[in-house]
Amino acid sequence: MIERYTRPEMANIWSQENKLKIMMEVEVLACEGMAAIGQIPAEAAKNIRAKANFNVDRVNEIEKTTRHDVIAFLSCVAEYIGDDAKYMHAGMTSSDVLDTALAVQMKQAGEIILEQLKAFAQVLKEKAIQYKDTLCIGRTHAVHAEPITFGLKLAVWYEETLRNITRMERAIETISYGQISGAVGTFANIDPRIEEYVCEHLGLKPEPVSTQVISRDHYNEYMTTLAIVATSLEKFMTEIRNLQRTEIFEVMEEFKKGQKGSSAMPHKRNPMTCERVCGLARVIRGNVMPAFEDSVLWHERDLAHSSVERIIIPDSTSLLFYILQLATNVVKNMEVHEDQMMANVEKTLGLVFSQRLMLTVVGKGVPRDTVYPWVQSNALRAWDTKTSFKELVKQDENIMKYITEAELDEIFDYSYHTKNVDYIFKRCGLL
């Protein structure tokens, strides 16, 4: 985790303090579960709950000797509890504590990502409605195609974000599993009721079958979801970057007072925030492959996954939460140049109506293969000579013998391309 790209909320979740706090809760709950079924004295469990504590520095100090993080942690906690600490960790393995605690942390991280996703969706909804009827050019292959509205662009992003909300909810559900099943997962030395007790109190479900670890396909789905959400954000921010290009100039990222663009060229307003989102999204996607490789452990477990997960899970959740906030602010505060959008629509001198012209003439009974060259030749002439496409069509006897000038005027009407915008907005719940 890099401080520059980590918000306090995520830093707290992935802090050693929070990790050890959750691990301590797992151990205390296990003792309470043992007491509930009569395996240890009830007073011992009460004493453990009352006295259990730790000191991060002390844990780290002990670990220098033990070279085992869980043993170091338990030794530290025992210093606070006293004799009753002998009941702690009975029949449990380190992975019981670590995997269960990690599930809680991943759930915590997922929940604040989910809330930010919902906030992002709300901003997209508001902006989509605001620009529902703002005409702009649609581009395919980066070339002018036909008119759309800027609101429709944002509606696409809104609908994709709703799917990402569903994905994130499912990922949180998928990761919310704990285990207290002992060495190699057989419950040989610990009663399964302990697992049920611990998981219930932590808001988790017991892993139905574990080895000595929870199967990492849970983690794969979670990490893949983070990558999908990040990729959506990169897609959205890439569009804004393109729309901010000098040659297009339709949308601008907010540029605050005192902000600087280029260190060399004072005139520059670079889409730096959008670019940062795009760059960090690539890091999140890159972390998916190590997550998949962590699924392949030797026999019932090894430790190859542990060091990897200590990096990729905190990093990926932290980065996603960070770029989600950035993207939300970009959309919320972006400058939309509606006049420039209209100017860009008109740059091709009416060529955006070529399809409707062709379809109108085809509708008169002329074969498509006959009409297409007529329309295309006029379109190419308009492009080459910078002449109004409509005026050239008026002079084309092949076309005009099938349509009237009134029909031609109707063909060259922008509202034709926006007539179903409200239908689309209603279909995705924006109206």
Radius of gyration of the chain, Cα coordinates, nearest whole angstrom: 30
The Cα 424–Cα 419 span in angstroms is: 10
Closest CA to 13 of 90, 108, 96, 97: 108
Alpha-carbon span 385 to 257, nearest angstrom: 44
CA distances from 76 to 14, 88, 102 (A): 20, 12, 20
The sign of the torsion formed by the CA atoms of 81, 82, 86, 87 equals: negative
Structure letter (DSSP) for residue 4:
G
Question: What b/e sequence results for 80-89 when a residue is b if at least 16 CB atoms lie within 10 Å of its CB, and e otherwise?
Answer: bbeebbebbb
Half-sphere exposure at residue 217, Cβ-oriented, CA atoms within 13 angstroms:
3
Phi, psi of 336 (to 5 degrees): -110, 120
Q: Which single residue is written with the structure tokens 């999204």?
A: 281
- Cα gap 282→4, rounded to integer Å: 17
Report whether 219 contacts 175 (CB < 8 A). Answer: yes
- What end-to-end distance do the CA atoms of the chain give, in Å? 41
Report how far residue 97's alpha carbon sits from residue 77's, in angstroms, rounded to the nearest whole number.
14
Contacts of 336 (CB under 8 A, 6+ apart): 131, 134, 150, 250, 251
Catalytic annotation, residues: 141, 262
**What phi-psi label fits residue 32: left (phi over 0), alpha (psi between -120 and 50 degrees) or beta?**
alpha
- Cβ neighbours, 10 Å, residue 205: 14
